[in-house]
Amino acid sequence: MSLLATLATSPGLVVALAAGGWLGAGAARAAGLSARSAAVLAPALTLAAWLVTTLAVGRWTGSFLTASGAGALAVGAPGAWLAVRAARAGRLGGSPRRRDLVLLAVALGLVALVLPAAEKHFHDEASIAGHVSTVSRLLRDHYPPPYPAFPEWEFRYHYGFDVLAAAIAAALHLPAPSGIDVATVGLWGYAALIAARLGELVWSPRVGVFVALGALLGGGAPFVAAPSWLELGERLCGAWRIEGIWLNPPVASYFFQHPFALGIPLALTALVVHAEGGAGLARLALLGGLGVALAHAQLVLFLTVGGSVLLGEGLAAWAREERWLARAGWLIGVGAAAAWAATRLGGFFAPGPRGLAGALQWSGGVTESTWGSLRWLAHSFGALPLLGAIGLAGARRARAALGVLVGGSLTVLVSVRYSESWDIVKFATVAQLVLGAGAGALAGRVALSRPAGAGLGRRALAGGVLLLVTIAAGAAFHVAIAADLDGALEGDHLEPVPGDDACAIAVLAPRAGRDELVYRSRGSSLAYAQAGLGSAWPDYPTRQFGIPQAMINARTKLLESLSPDLAAWRAHGIRWWVVRSERDRMQEQLEAWRAAGQAEEIARCGRLVVYRAR
């Protein structure tokens, strides 16, 4: 194992990333950000630099562990040097202010709120191509991660979160699900700190906590006028449909659709950098680097926040009349460079057998009818459009970028449809995030205003009501899960792996190559994929990742027919079989191949036998 891989598999990686915080703070200060913004954004900027470096080195070396160690060294070494310089100069920070302590307490309270949900596995976490499988594949040192059932193709997905979760799991020697949970919960609490800083800049230093609550817990009103036959948990979680389309859950739910868990902190960081203002090239470079990282964290946030910030920067330069034409040229250049760099690093931009653009279609609403679309929007957004718009109107900075972000996201939502899944509604989540921040700012300004006389209590009560309306959906979602109410989202369960299968997985793990698939009966194959092994069986989201239906049908036909033609199996990349030792048609065929010298028995694990094609 190389020195870099050794670093990636030790707590030294965490130490290196912590030291890299000084590099993030230094970059923020060099870009003209205030000391307070630099302190808040330092971890996010460090994380973005580590992620981009890891993605680039991973594509060069083909080793995730080497890439993760290289990324940690790239940010940790200069960060440690800057920390030593700061210590010698006596600039290691001051005492926290009261407002900071209040914000930290709120962030910890939000973390406590989501802990029950972190134990469950929502939103594609436990499927064959889910996050557990992807993290496990990275932990096997495969990079870029291939699609589990068709490893000849790179996994076309924004897997930046999975790279972070795998790095945490490798450094702390945790299983893949635990790495995912640690990353999710930590990013959730940190997102509250960044959202509060955005509120301080855009609205007022006094409303930061309100903005953080509104942004992360903002949502609609799925429980108002809901069908009477729904269980209480279904009402509170918004787990019901209008004309076949699921309601869009609150932001607090989407954080467990893990690309958002990394994408939201990076997106908020870009908005803070934009709100700070300034005209230096270093600041534009900072935004460009954040854009590259965001492209591999969450594609919808990259498209919406990236475009809105780019437009906002151009409008700000034009308003200042400070060489705005040259400034526009720099903006276009940095934006083009960031887009080019993002496409070179794979992820959603990786080549595939089928393009995804053809699945986008023009539509006249979210559902098939106008009335259904209006109902869907009313339940998914509730009072957020009204309260958020009033709050955004009172913004002191970044008003244009935030307004375009909301307007553009809603326009895409109601005019474009993605035929392969309901994922176009993720644009609604972007609008919820910004409108929730604006509604939180409005609630804070009402609650903390200082009228003369006895109006103080009424103002505080009114602000509290506005905040409650804003965050009701997000809070109800997690309360329903914590209380285990009937109908609340259960998530997928990672069932314990039977002992025989655990033994077979242990046999296969050091032997099966990156592009070699493992056959196990359909009902038992999921555990093998979640261990980072290639699965012969495709699952339901396979087509959404650009795999043609003809390839899926051919594979399924082979597996269901148990073809006696070994060449057909090898043509599909299937090199390994795990079958029962008795009363199994596939085992009888494998014994025939073994007798003909075409296959060999590798190991026996209780009632299971592991075979390999010669």
For the segment 19-55, what is each residue's pLDDT rounded down to a tens digit? 999 999 999 999 999 989 999 999 999 999 999 999 9
What is the band of 357 on the pLDDT scale with cuts at 50, 70, 90? Answer: low
- The CA-based dihedral angle spanning residues 366, 371, 375, 381, taken in that order and rounded to the nearest 10 degrees: 50
Q: If you search the block for the tokens 């890891």, which residue do you land on?
A: 54
CB contact set of 444 (below 8 Å; sequence gap of 6+): 199, 203, 204, 206, 207, 209, 210, 211, 463, 467
Half-sphere exposure of 262 (CA within 13 A, CB side): 28
Give residue 492's pLDDT. 58
CA–CA gap between residue 284 and residue 276 (Å, rounded): 12
pLDDT at 549: 87
Residue 75: Cβ within 10 Å count: 27
With a pLDDT cut of 70, the percent of the chain lying above it is 93
Contact 544, 154 (CB under 8 A): no
pLDDT at position 267 is 97
The owner of tokens 């905040």 is 467
Residue 72 has pLDDT above 60, yes or no: yes
**Identity at 203, one-letter amino acid code:** W
Q: How confident is the model at residue 547 (pLDDT cuts 50, 70, 90)?
A: confident
Token pair recorded at residue 517: 């698939």
Strands 360-362, 608-613: parallel, antiparallel or unpaired by DSSP? Answer: unpaired
What local confidence, expressed as pLDDT, does residue 186 receive? 94
Q: Is the dihedral of CA 187, 246, 211, 41 positive or negative?
A: positive
> Mean pLDDT throughout 42-70?
95
Instruction: Please give the residue that has the higher pLDDT: either 101 or 150.
Output: 150
Rounded to an integer, the average pLDDT of 251-265 is: 91
Token digits for 49?
């630099």
Residues 571, 526, 546: CA angle, nearest 5 degrees? 55
Quote the pLDDT of residue 245.
Answer: 87
Higher pLDDT, 490 or 344: 344
Q: What is the average per-residue pLDDT within 309-334?
A: 75
- Angle between helical axes of 208-217 and 176-202 (0-180°, round to 10): 130
Identify whether the C-beta of residue 23 lies closer than 8 Å to the C-beta of residue 83.
no
Residue for token pair 């375009």: 404
Whether the predicted pLDDT of 338 surpasses 80:
yes
- Label residue 239 by pLDDT band (50, 70, 90): confident
Q: What is the mean pLDDT of residues 165-175?
A: 96
Range in 109-123, 149-163, 311-325 the model is least confident about: 311-325
Question: Could you give phi then psi for residue 174, rounded to 5 degrees?
Answer: -105, 155
3-state secondary structure 555-588: HHHHHHHCCCCHHHHHHCCEEEEEEECCCCHHHH
Q: What average pLDDT score do residues 105-114 get?
A: 87
Helices within 31-63 (DSSP H only): 35-61
Three state DSSP letters for 157-206: CCCHHHHHHHHHHHHHCCCHHHHHHHHHHHHHHHHHHHHHHHHHHHCCHH
Mean pLDDT score of the chain: 88
User: Residues 218-230: pLDDT tens digits?
Assistant: 999 988 888 888 8
Phi-psi region of 241 (alpha: psi -120 to 50; beta: other; left: phi over 0): beta
**Stretch 104-122: mean pLDDT:** 82
**Helix spans in 1-147 (H):** 3-8, 12-30, 35-61, 64-88, 98-118, 131-139
How are the residues of the chain apportioned to helix, strand and coil, as percentages rounded to the nearest 5? 65, 5, 30
For residue 317, pLDDT beyond 80 = no
360 beta partners: 418
User: What are residue 600's DSSP bridge partners?
Assistant: 612
Residue range 461-486, pLDDT digits in tens:
888 999 999 999 999 998 888 888 87
Cα–Cα distance, 444 to 206 (Å, whole number): 8
CA distance 128 to 336: 35
Residue with tokens 């096997």: 140
Q: What is the pLDDT of residue 325?
A: 64
Report yes or no: 269 and 28 within 8 Å, Cβ to Cβ: no
- Strand, coil or helix: 121: strand
pTM (two decimals):
0.94
Q: What is the pLDDT of residue 416?
A: 84
The predicted structure's pLDDT at residue 296: 94
**Residue with the larger pLDDT of the pair 496 and 373:** 373
pLDDT digits (tens, 9 = 90+) for 399-428: 999 999 999 999 999 888 776 667 788 999
At which residue do the structure tokens 């302190």 appear? Answer: 39
Tell me if residue 30 falls in helix, strand or coil. Answer: helix
Q: Report pLDDT for 294.
A: 95
Q: Of 66-80, 97-111, 161-175, 456-470, which range is least confident?
A: 97-111
Q: For residue 519, list its beta bridge partners.
A: 577
Q: Is the dihedral of CA 535, 536, 542, 545 positive or negative?
A: positive
Cα four-point dihedral sign 425, 431, 436, 439 = negative
Listed residue (221, 191, 9) closest to 103, CA to CA: 191
- How many residues are there in the chain? 614
